[in-house]
Amino acid sequence: MSDAPAPWERDFESPGRSAALGTSCMAATSHPLATATALGVLRDGGNAVDAAIAAVAVLGVVEPTQTGIGGDCFALYMPAATGRVHAINGSGWAPAAASTDWFRDRGIPAIDPTSAHAVTVPGAVAAWGRLAEDHGTFGLDRLLAPAIRAAEDGYPVTERVARDWRRQLTKLRSQPHAAATFLPGGEAPRAGDLHRQPRLAAALRAIASGGPAAFYRGEIAADIVACLRALGGLHSLDDFAAFEAEYVEPIRASYRGYDLWQCPPNGQGLTSLLIARTLERFEIGRLAALGAERLHLLGEAARLGYAVRDAVVCDPRQGRVKVEELLSDRHVATLASRISPSQRIADLTPAPLPAHRDTVFLTVVDRDLNCIAFINSIFDDFGSGIVAPQTGIVLHNRGSGFVIDPAHPNTIAGRKRPLHTIIPALLTRAGRAVMPFGCTGGHFQPIGQMQLLSNLLDLGMPLQRAVDAPRIFARGEVFEVERRIPADAVAGLRALGHVVTLAENPLGTAQAIYIDRERGILHGAADGRRDGVALGW
């Protein structure tokens, strides 16, 4: 009799982890301190929104490479009592003075991701405040307290954060305020070192006391604007004072009998829905999980989805994105008809957009089964590399997602939001939440989400196994694989015409919580590609 594990069962003699299980609540984040923070809020009577805001604020301190109050956020929140999916867009806009002509007249063909022009007004704090006021039970004073303590008293740098930090020495050394904040003694902290950010603690304390207005209308805004204008930026205090996060109508598509929800453009959630609707036309669950056939189908559906995204997605307030038409049966059938099982599509050319892979995603389900999928980002590692001198805030570089082309819908303009890559996701069935989930990684996020979803629904993998499984990334001419993809699959992909390369970094970081209503169990999964932890009770 063999003791070998059954299909998809965890091999307990190999490294790995089991899913977290609970009956009351669950939190899954990319850092142990953030997960502990979320659980503390839930223990004290807070709901999923409260726990998510407190956790993401901590992540902005302890994972400064990935996120912070100088970035943007999106969230999908579904209160169990109403069954309505609320989507909030916390992405910031370009300065009012920005225009395509301004850049063209100065011979600037693309926005440098380390320049002041790459910094749009950070939208995260506005979104946190709106969510807390409308759906939370605690105020920002209570929710930001753990982040303030971490910034003021210090936090131990984890292994993955130390690794990412070390890779950004050139960027940090190029900006004196960044170096002073993040290179103590001239070097990046090592794993296990204690790091403090007292100026950031003071900024967080001001927001905890004064709310979002303290960020957008007070000394914090003045510090950021002065910093950016000294570096050639077009920003004004009015650009900050006029900004608000907004609720938007979520979009959805079906997949294997479930509804997959996303935020609408200017986010790239449409891409996930296009991939899902295209894949649904193929019996991908009959194929080997890591075989060339299945990876080819995943890759081709993704390449088609990204090509559509790159051609049309923009800020819908300054351009039209025909979401219903793009998700229609007719359009999806046309996309699917282009996929050949025997060769790669040769004529896809995406728009030239910068690579970006640095974000945090977290999810919380509370005792009432209210659930939230929450994503927050400063874009690149340490964003633009620009740190506001008085407040110690790392400023993102989301504006580098604009193009400088008057004919393109995503061209830069005043008070316009760029195409955005950060996308929370929510799976529902019959009007009830099944799984809030998401995957970080910039452009990678749509194909990352769909690999997790296909692993779960097509192949029947347990949740943690679906998160842990090796990944690919296909967009345009790019076809990257993690090193755990089998050699014979790589050879098969190359035979189909794909130019396969080994991914420089692990592809994305996923977190998910699956609600098993039949058994009354919450399954939480967090990605080992970072320092993620899922816990509940």
Phi, psi values for residue 473, rounded to 5°: -140, 120
Q: Which residues contact 498 (CB under 8 A, 6 or more apart)?
A: 296, 299, 344, 474, 479
Amino acid present at 3: D
* Vertex 34: Cα angle to 31 and 36 (nearest 5): 110
Six-digit token pair at 365?
Answer: 């389900």
Under 8 Å between Cβ of 273 and 250: no
Q: Answer whether residue 293 is part of any domain.
A: yes
| Long-range own/partner contacts, residues 427-431 (CB < 8 A, 24 or more apart) | 427/258, 427/259, 427/260, 427/261, 427/453, 428/78, 428/85, 428/258, 428/259, 428/261, 429/257, 429/258, 429/259, 431/83
Which of the following is catalytic: 29, 37, 181, 359? Answer: 359
| pLDDT tens across the length of the chain (537 residues) | 345 445 788 888 888 889 999 999 999 999 999 999 999 999 999 999 999 999 999 999 999 999 999 999 999 999 999 999 999 999 999 999 999 999 999 999 999 999 999 999 999 999 999 999 999 999 999 999 999 999 999 999 999 999 999 999 999 999 999 999 999 999 999 999 999 999 999 999 999 999 999 999 999 999 999 999 999 999 999 999 999 999 999 999 999 999 999 999 999 999 999 999 999 999 999 999 999 999 999 999 999 999 999 999 999 999 889 999 999 999 999 999 999 999 999 987 644 545 545 688 999 999 999 999 999 999 999 999 999 999 999 999 999 999 999 999 999 999 999 999 999 999 999 999 999 999 999 899 999 999 999 999 999 999 999 999 999 999 999 999 999 999 999 999 999 999 999 999 999 999 999 999 999 999 999 999 999 999 999
533 contacts 526 by C-beta, under 8 angstroms = yes
- Cα separation, 137 vs 132, in Å, equals 7
**449 domain-assigned:** yes
The one-letter code for the residue type at 369 is L
Q: What are the start-end ranges of the H helices in 144-268?
A: 145-153, 159-166, 169-173, 176-182, 198-210, 212-216, 219-230, 237-241
Contacts of 73 (CB under 8 A, 6+ apart): 56, 88, 90, 91, 123, 124, 127, 128, 374, 375, 376, 377, 422
Residue 75 in domain: no
Q: Can you tell me the distance from the alpha carbon of 386 to that of 175, in angstroms, rounded to the nearest whole number?
A: 6
**Is 167 contained in some domain?**
no
Q: Could you tell me the CA-to-CA distances from 126 to 211, 236, 417, 503, 517 in Å, in that order?
A: 9, 17, 15, 35, 34
Q: Which of 248, 232, 302 is nearest to 450 (CA)?
A: 302
| Those residues with Cβ within 8 angstroms of residue 288's Cβ, 6 or more apart along the chain or in another chain | 294
Residue 84 in domain: no
DSSP sequence for 443-504: GGHHHHHHHHHHHHHTS---HHHHHHS--EEEETTEEEE-TTS-HHHHHHHHHTT--EEE-S
Is residue 35 within a helix (H) or strand (E), and if so which, with residue range? Answer: helix 32-43
Could you tell me if 378 and 396 are in contact, meaning their C-beta atoms sit under 8 angstroms apart?
yes
Total domains in the chain come to 1
| Region for 148 from its dihedrals, namely left if φ exceeds 0, alpha if ψ lies in -120 to 50, beta otherwise | alpha
Active site residue 501: no
Distance spanning both ends of the chain, measured CA to CA: 36
Q: In which domain, by residue range, is 299 found?
A: 248-352+433-517
- pLDDT given for residue 16 in this prediction: 85
CA–CA gap between residue 402 and residue 412 (Å, rounded): 5
> Which residues face 438 on adjacent strands?
511
Cβ neighbours for 166, distance < 8 A, ≥ 6 positions apart: 188
Own/partner pairs for 39-44, CB < 8 Å, 24+ apart?
A: 39/535, 39/536, 39/537, 40/146, 41/138, 41/143, 42/364, 42/366, 42/367
Name residue 364's amino acid: V
- For residue 497, the domain's CATH number is 1.10.246.130
Give the pLDDT score at 353. Answer: 47
Do strands 478-481 and 500-502 pair parallel, antiparallel, or not at all (unpaired)? parallel
Q: Quick one: DSSP state of residue 130?
A: H
Q: What is the DSSP code string of 373-390?
A: EEEEEEESTTTTS-B-TT
Instruction: Tell me the pTM.
Output: 0.95
Distant-in-sequence, close-in-space partners of 256: CB < 8 Å, separation ≥ 6 = 280, 457, 458
Q: How far is CA 179 from CA 66, 187, 232, 377, 385, in A?
A: 17, 9, 20, 21, 9
Q: Is residue 61 part of a domain?
A: no
- Amino acid letter, 368: D
Closest residue by Cα to residue 61 from 16, 85, 14, 29: 29
Question: Is 105 inside a domain boundary?
Answer: no
Amino acid at 222: A
Whether residue 28 is contained in a domain is answered as no
Give me the pLDDT at residue 135, please.
Answer: 98
In b/e form, how buried is each residue of 439-464, taking b as 16+ CB within 10 angstroms? bbbbbbbbbbbbbbbbbbbbbebbbb
